[in-house]
Amino acid sequence: MTKGKLFVISGPSGTGKGTICKYILDQRTNIRLSVSMTTRDPRQGEVDKVHYHFTDHDAFRNLIEEDGFLEYASVFGNYYGTPRKQVMDWLEKGIDVILEIDVQGALQVKKSYPESILIFILPPSMEELRCRITGRGTETEEAISRRLGAAMQEIEAVGKYDYSVVNDELQKAVDSVKAIISAEQCRLNEEDAEFIINKYKEDL
Amino acid sequence: MTKGKLFVISGPSGTGKGTICKYILDQRTNIRLSVSMTTRDPRQGEVDKVHYHFTDHDAFRNLIEEDGFLEYASVFGNYYGTPRKQVMDWLEKGIDVILEIDVQGALQVKKSYPESILIFILPPSMEELRCRITGRGTETEEAISRRLGAAMQEIEAVGKYDYSVVNDELQKAVDSVKAIISAEQCRLNEEDAEFIINKYKEDL
Beta strands in A61-200 (DSSP E): 69-75, 78-83, 96-100, 117-122, 163-166
| pTM listed for this prediction | 0.92
- Where chain B has pLDDT below 50, the residues are none
Give pLDDT tens digits for A149-190: 999 999 999 999 999 999 999 999 999 999 999 999 999 988
Residue A136 pLDDT grade (very low, low, confident, very high; cuts 50, 70, 90) = low
How far apart (Å, rounded) are the C-alpha atoms in residues A116 and A195?
A: 21
Shortest CA distance to A165 belongs to which of A180, A153, A154, A152?
A180
Give pLDDT tens digits for B145-164: 999 999 999 999 999 999 99
Shortest CA distance to B190 belongs to which of A149, A113, A108, A164?
A164
Residues of B in contact with A159 (CB under 8 A): 188, 190, 193-194, 197
Of B180, B192, B193, the CB nearest to A186: B180
A-B Cβ pairs (cutoff 8 Å, strict):
114
Residues of A in contact with B164 (CB under 8 A): 186, 188, 192, 196
Its ipTM equals 0.90
Q: Do A192 and B148 touch (CB under 8 A)?
A: no
Shortest CA distance to A9 belongs to which of A185, A202, A178, A148?
A178
Q: Is the pLDDT of residue A196 over 90?
A: yes
